[in-house]
Amino acid sequence: MHDAVPNPARDRLQACFKAQKHAWAEQGGLLPERRDEALGALGEALVRHADDFTKAIAADFGHRSPHETKLADLYPVIAALRHARKNFRRWMKPRRRPIQWMFQPGTGHTLYQPLGIVGIVSPWNYPVQLALWPLAGALAAGNRVMIKPSEITPRTSALMEEVIAEVFDSAEVAVVQGEPDVARVFAHLPFDHLLFTGSTSVGRQVMQAAADNLVPVTLELGGKSPALIATDYPVEKAAERIAVGKLFNAGQTCIAPDYVLVPRDKQETFVAAYRDAVASLYPTLAANPDYTGIVSERHHARLRHLIDDARERGAQVHEINPGGETLDAAQRKLAPVVLTNVPDQAQAMQEEIFGPVLPVVGYDDVEEACRFIGARPHPLALYLFSHDKATAERVLARTQSGGVAINDTLLHCVQEELPFGGVGPSGMGAYHGEAGFKTFSHARSVFRQARFNGAGMTKAPYGRSMNRLLSMLLR
């Protein structure tokens, strides 16, 4: 497999990894002063290059809303860097732990130390956010880091490499570009931790590659994240919030609402309300700078196939094109689509959509809706629309997902004090804020024996005193 990778790419990978391993052996992790400096400098570099990233991402996508880039790709990373810089010294403080009475007056504490060399494999849909957000946690913990960004957004990846080189020596943080073959070699390196964001199918391959070297992994995958509108919640209001979350980045978001569960007698009301919400958000599509294009011809064709497959299986296809425009194929813009009466066998109900296509599923009661969600692989996110506390508690108790937002979409992801991660097929492990610091740290247990202690009571030869002690301990 390694022979299929061009030698320069393979050699650069190995050289970067070797340099970081050597630096770790000679100097260890990043000292707190360097962490503070690096977190601040990287944030300043992103602000300085904000327009450059906006242009690069737009060029990679064909068209990408500049506001969406700054709001979702740049701002969360800058906020995460600031949050980590403000808090990492508190996170890294040793934490006292209670010791059982029979081992006192010994003391115990946990010491958070960097793991070593961390690998990050990031996807194309948010090419800055999903590469540099985990970097914030890895740096806060004091690690050295290698990043493999997506080859689908080459201009952004190249700019990221330049910006990282402005702030870091390659023995601290390095960006390594390349095609999927390079990513496969990257995943086989003996990192001390590997974080991958992408599809479930590729996540399985990454985990298998990491297993060869017993590398622990954090997998941020995806899945079909449902939105559930309870009977007490206004359908029109829910439709507006779902439209915002679904059509941000044209649906190319791992936590986008993938399908919506609506009370059976309100499905038509929802479709009409969703149509109105789309028209309000995007009165036109073709030349609208706010409406993002699909990243590649392959993904555009995949989405068209999902729509055609649903239609052929008997679903009703509701295209929403408020201006009645002909969309430019070069910009790869795809009009929002709602699917109703979609059979469960349709591909749109079997695989993550990752685009502006929204299946609507009717239900009769909340228990039925929960069973529908529970019969499928655990999603990365779940969105519940209800003002009823009992309904919310019931849904939370009866379903599983990586995260939850109630009465909105997407916003749970950008809370630095909330861990972000999946469960089961939607991922393992979490990061953001202190959760990210802990993911990239080793909580080292330290027990300190007191000068005067009772340890001598438990050593051989055993006799009556040990029998009395055991009788007391096991009683």
Question: How far apart (Å, rounded) are the C-alpha atoms in residues 194 and 220?
Answer: 11
- Contact indicator for 294, 304 with CB cutoff of 8 Å: no
Q: Which residues are bridge partners to 259 per DSSP?
A: 226
> What residues are labeled active site?
220, 254
End-to-end CA distance of the chain: 59
Instruction: Give the span between the Cα atoms of 431 and 361, in whole angstroms.
Output: 32
Q: Please, what is the Cα angle at 230 between 225 and 233, to 5 degrees?
A: 115
9-15 long-range contacts, CB within 8 A, separation 24+: 9/176, 9/178, 9/181, 9/182, 9/185, 10/182, 10/185, 12/176, 13/176, 13/178, 13/182, 13/185, 13/186, 13/189
What b/e readout covers 390-417, taking b as 16+ CB neighbours within 10 angstroms? ebbebbeeebebbbbbeeebbebbbebe
What Rg do the C-alpha atoms of the chain give, in angstroms?
A: 25
